[in-house]
């Protein structure tokens, strides 16, 4: 449940008695930003559609700041979780979809000519065999997504000193 306040009420330092701590107090514009952000996950566009003013880099910076606002980010997170729960989407659903897509894309499809006959290609030993194709890029993308989920790839590069310890720092004083 979200409590919407107009801008003046939100700025007031008065606390509201008897309101559950789970309620997130947002200004009308902040709530509008949350609603707009959930449409396309584009913070800058949501910022403008919510009625905030700004152009170019100003809109980008302000929308980023709004996303980092604890109340706004909490409201977005709760709304996204509710939407995912309603749709039945979870990590297992996504992984299953990736794996099914990989399996479909790995299937070899015969290459046919205009008459519908198999196109033949030379094999390394000089013989002839029917040509087949599969969607290699889609398979690789599926494996990439799956590998990222399983944390098989490091997005960061870790640097350490000798023996895995700290990197030695040399302080040089000139003068």
The answer on 133 and 116 residing in a single domain is: yes
The answer on 117 and 82 residing in a single domain is: no
**HEC readout, 40-108:** HCCHHHHHHHCCCCCCCHHHHHHHHHHHHCHHHHHHHHHHHHHHHHHHCCCHHHHHHHHHHHHHHHHCC
Q: Give residue 100's region: left, alpha or beta (phi > 0; psi -120 to 50).
A: alpha
The answer on 143 and 75 residing in a single domain is: no
Average pLDDT of 135-158?
Answer: 80
Q: For residue 63, give its domain range.
A: 2-12+20-87
pLDDT at 23: 54
Asked whether residue 158 is domain-assigned, the answer is no
The answer on 118 and 61 residing in a single domain is: no
Asked whether residue 109 is domain-assigned, the answer is yes
Question: Coil, strand, or helix at residue 124?
Answer: coil
The answer on 95 and 83 residing in a single domain is: no
The answer on 72 and 7 residing in a single domain is: yes
Asked whether residue 161 is domain-assigned, the answer is no
Q: Band the pLDDT of 157: cuts 50, 70, 90.
A: low
Average pLDDT of 21-50?
Answer: 87
Asked whether residue 165 is domain-assigned, the answer is no
Percent of the chain, pLDDT > 90?
A: 33
Number of domains in the chain: 2
Tell me which residue of 142, 139, 141, 121 sits closest to 131, measured CA to CA. Answer: 121
Q: What is the CA radius of gyration of the chain?
A: 27
CATH of the domain at 29: 1.10.10.1400
The answer on 29 and 81 residing in a single domain is: yes
Q: Is the pLDDT of residue 25 over 50?
A: yes
Average pLDDT of 45-56?
Answer: 90
Asked whether residue 174 is domain-assigned, the answer is no
Percent of the chain, pLDDT > 70?
A: 83
Q: Is the pLDDT of residue 17 over 80?
A: no
Q: Domain boundary residue among 87, 115, 134?
A: 87
Q: Is the pLDDT of residue 125 over 80?
A: yes
d(CA 162, CA 60): 42
């Amino acid at each position: 449940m979200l409590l919407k306040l107009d801008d003046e009420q939100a700025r007031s330092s008065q606390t509201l008695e008897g309101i559950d701590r789970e309620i997130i107090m947002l200004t009308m514009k902040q709530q509008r930003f949350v609603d707009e952000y959930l449409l396309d996950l584009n913070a800058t566009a949501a910022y403008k559609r919510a009625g905030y003013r700004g152009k170019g880099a100003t809109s980008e910076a302000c929308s980023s700041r709004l996303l980092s606002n604890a109340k706004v980010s909490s409201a977005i997170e709760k709304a996204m979780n509710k939407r995912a729960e309603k749709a039945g989407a979870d990590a297992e659903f996504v992984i299953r979809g990736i794996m099914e897509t990989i399996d479909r894309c790995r299937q070899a499809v015969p290459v046919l000519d205009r008459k519908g006959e198999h196109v033949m290609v030379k094999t390394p030993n000089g013989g002839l065999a029917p040509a087949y194709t599969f969607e290699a890029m889609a398979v690789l993308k599926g494996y990439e997504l799956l590998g990222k989920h399983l944390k098989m790839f490091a997005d960061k590069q870790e640097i350490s000193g000798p023996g895995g310890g700290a990197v030695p720092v040399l302080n040089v004083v000139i003068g």
